[in-house]
Amino acid sequence: MRKLPRPFYDRDTIAVARELLGKHLVHVERGRERVGRIVEVEAYLGPHDRAAHSSRGLTDRTKVMFGPPGHAYVYLIYGMYYCMNVVTEREGHASAVLLRAIEPVKNIVGRAQGPGLLCKAMHIDNRLNAHDLLSSDFYIAAPPRTERFEIVKRPRVGVDYAGPWAKRPLRFYIKGNPFISRP
């Protein structure tokens, strides 16, 4: 497994988001390895991005976004699902990439289309918040072989409150992939 190094995450958030497509998300729990191929993501650019949690400042919940790149930002949404982000860019920049859907690769039970279902299928919860993605039990890696694909750009989902930021095409997914959360 070619685990993505710290410098991969310490870059422009849109570039990181696009390059996360096709990579493998790996979670090893009690010796059981679950693997999903990332097929859909969203970029959250920082405190100036009104759709980003970090736009409401540094709080106990969002402090992970303000931390160093290459860490997981996991939070509870609607009291019933978890969402997982990857923190990007230099410490203090407070940007991240939301993982929205994976294609099952190994030990995935049920659908993983949508950020809530992705976390459920990968057994990701708040215990993994702030977890270092350069660890040995929770990380992202480049698969041995990667086929070519086209990337589709769309506005992000569920951020209508963000004014002009709601219309920016910051959602990216693999064209034609059957495991994306919605067209």
Partner DNA sequence: TGCACGATGAAC
Partner DNA sequence: TTCATCGTGCAC
Residues at the contact surface with DNA, assessed by CB under 7 A: 42, 44, 51-54, 56-57, 59-62, 65, 73, 75-81, 83, 85, 96, 98, 111, 113-118, 156-159, 161, 181
DSSP secondary structure letter of residue 13? H
SS3 60: coil
Could you tell me the smallest distance in angstroms from the CB atom of residue 145 to DNA? 28
Nearer of residues 1 and 77 to DNA, judged by Cβ = 77
Could you tell me the smallest distance in angstroms from the CB atom of residue 148 to DNA? 27
Nearer of residues 143 and 155 to DNA, judged by Cβ = 155
Could you tell me the smallest distance in angstroms from the CB atom of residue 140 to DNA? 16
Q: To the nearest 10°, report the CA torsion of 110, 177, 74, 30.
A: 50
Taking the C-alpha atoms of residue 12 and residue 123, their distance in angstroms, rounded to an integer, is: 28
Could you tell me the smallest distance in angstroms from the CB atom of residue 102 to DNA? 11
CB-side neighbour CA atoms (13 Å) of 121: 26
Say if residues 51 and 156 touch (Cβ distance below 8 Å): yes
Nearer of residues 4 and 99 to DNA, judged by Cβ = 99
Nearer of residues 35 and 102 to DNA, judged by Cβ = 102
Q: To the nearest 10°, report the CA torsion of 162, 167, 170, 172.
A: 130
Could you tell me the smallest distance in angstroms from the CB atom of residue 59 to DNA? 3
Taking the C-alpha atoms of residue 36 and residue 15, their distance in angstroms, rounded to an integer, is: 20
Taking the C-alpha atoms of residue 54 and residue 79, their distance in angstroms, rounded to an integer, is: 20
Could you tell me the smallest distance in angstroms from the CB atom of residue 53 to DNA? 4
Nearer of residues 1 and 109 to DNA, judged by Cβ = 109
Nearer of residues 161 and 164 to DNA, judged by Cβ = 161
Say if strands 2-3 and 95-106 run parallel, antiparallel, or are unpaired.
unpaired
